[in-house]
Amino acid sequence: MPKVNMKTKEYVDGKWIEIQADFRKYDDWNASLDDHAELFINGTSWDKDKYKPVIEASGYEEAAQALVTAGYATDPDYAYKLIDLIEQYDLAIYDKIDEKLLSTRKISAYGEVKDGANETVWSEPYGLVGAQKVEKISYYARDDLQLIAEAKTTDATWYQFAVDGKTIGWVKSDQIVRQ
């Protein structure tokens, strides 16, 4: 595997130091992601279960702590920094990919965004394969929403809505007040 030697900061014996270290070099982004995933799934050559607690974690907070416990990073604040990034950029939304569509039906109704609502609008109900983030529902707070479909998943009821005749996406029904 090709490598590149770079300067990096490590936290050793209670203080930050700079060292030169070898890092794997990849032909493309996907090869890097695949290798990184394999590290967590297969462990290291000296400990195949090294990252098992990360994989088995019940949520991102537990997984971040498990990374630190496994020695993935020397930064004592690594878990907190990682959790902060996940929350800041709403990355936990990508953890759920096993939602099941129970029913869908066309509807004809109107609604408005509930005061304080700020959940995400999706191209498909969240958790279904292919769901892409569209926008926060608060963006449409001043618009009249035409509710054009309703879907029930194992986790929630969703409304597909349009604004001025243009279909926007799906949002949880608790984010909308039907008129």
Q: Which domains, and CATH codes, for the chain?
A: 3-94 (1.10.530.10), 101-178 (2.30.30.170)
Please give the model's pTM, rounded to 2 decimal places.
Answer: 0.59
Residue 97's pLDDT is what?
66
Q: What is the pLDDT of residue 132?
A: 87
* 13 a catalytic residue: no
10 belongs to the catalytic site? yes
- Which of these is catalytic: 10, 22, 77, 95? 10
Q: Tens-of-pLDDT digits for all 179 residues of the chain?
A: 899 999 999 999 999 999 999 999 999 988 999 999 999 999 999 999 999 999 999 889 999 999 999 999 999 999 999 999 998 988 887 776 667 899 999 999 999 999 999 999 999 998 887 888 899 999 999 999 999 999 999 889 999 999 999 999 999 999 999 98
* The pLDDT of residue 142: 95
Give the integer Cα–Cα distance in Å for 43 and 103: 41
* pLDDT number for residue 128: 85
Out of 22, 35, 49, 56, the active site residue is 35
Q: How far is CA 129 from CA 10, 101, 175, in A?
A: 39, 10, 22
pLDDT for residue 92: 83
